[in-house]
Homo-oligomer: A and B are copies of this chain.
Amino acid sequence: MSTRRRAREPAEESEVAGFTGPATINDIARLAGVSKKTVSRVINASPLVRAETREKVAGLMRQVGYVPDPQARGLAFRRAFLIGLVYDNPNAQYIVNVQNGALDALRGSGFELVVHPCESRSDDFIEGVCRFVQRQKLHGAILLPPVSENEALAEALERLDVRYVRVGSVPFGAAARTVVSNDRAAAVEVAEYLVGLGHRAIGLIAGPHSHRSAHERAAGFGEVLARHGIELPPERVVEGGYTFESGVACAGRLLALASRPTAIFACNDEMAAGAYTAAYRMGLRVPEDVSIVGFDDSPLAARLWPALTTVRLPIRDMGRQAAALLLDPAAAAPAPLTPHLAVRDSCGPPAR
């Protein structure tokens, strides 16, 4: 072994004489005195290699700093070492959290993450996703809501025989291809909390009915109120679009009601922030005049004044689970994750 000091650089350039540039399977084969096929077997952890041979080859690979070329492997395998992240979601923090979670699972696996935003309202978006997946010969795709809720897309991917995992608030299709957060249970927790504080006049800013999560959240919430015999009349339920602006508008309507609610559950943090603005514009204080709860625990939540009580969605965990499922389809479907309430400063007992 050479004793000269090495610069702090990747050890791709072998110190073993005989070749320059990153080592290839041929270099390893020659060095080990075996065929490249045997090296290939070691790379792919085939059991059809004598232990002794395997160790010799593996040792050499380590020593030389050899890593198989993913591109060449992909070409031969007819499948790239790439995972696609397909989404149509305005919430940047959600995207980045999923990315980080997926990357957690991918680390060291040789797979990389390719991002693919799309327009699920556009007419040819399914075709676009299929083209992307097929052209890149993706190993699999992670579908985020609301794209994950699109049955037509799932069917199209099925036909193309590409692996995918759907992330959402309810299991759709095969459980093995789904990562679920139990939004309904979390909404139950929100309702129990508000009722426990003494609220009876409660307003709900629901999400857009095109999103499955909107149904889950509203359903869990309504369930509890009903159980407690608390009315949730139609005028106290308004549908927003998961956006800040819609939150301002919806809360404005709720707070202008003759029987003004003492608490509002906004089905995501964006709309909750809008509710703050609507309240402040009317000269109302949070939480003295109106308690507000959000959903997501986006970074926004902790930065509002007063800090927003909300539901913490384990988004990074979901990203991790999704990627893990793609790497090992044989793995058991993960149990649904239940998000929980993060109590901060936006709720109090009703004034009346």
Contact = CB atoms under 8 A, between A and B. Distances in A.
Given A92-B92, A115-B103, A156 B9 contact: yes
A159 B300 contact: no
**How many copies of this chain does one complex carry?**
2
Interface residues of A, number: 53
Given A71-B71, A71-B80, A299 B10 contact: no
Given A135-B70, A305-B305, A9 B130 contact: yes
A104 to B, nearest CB: 10
A117 B100 contact: yes
Interface string A265-293: 00000100110110010000000000000
A140 to B, nearest CB: 15
A14 interface: no
B134 A112 contact: no
Contacts of A103: 115, 117
Contact of A92 (B10, B95, B113): B95
A96 B89 CA distance: 11
Most buried by B among A71, A80, A280, A306: A71
A10 B244 contact: no
Nearest to A102: B115
Contact of A114 (B114, B124, B137): B114
Nearest to A135: B67
Nearest to A8: B127
Interface string A287-315: 00000000000011011111000000000
Interface of A: 8-10, 12, 22, 67, 69-72, 74-75, 80, 82, 92-93, 95-97, 99-100, 103, 112-117, 124, 126-127, 130-131, 134-137, 156, 159, 244, 270, 273-274, 276-277, 280, 299-300, 302-306
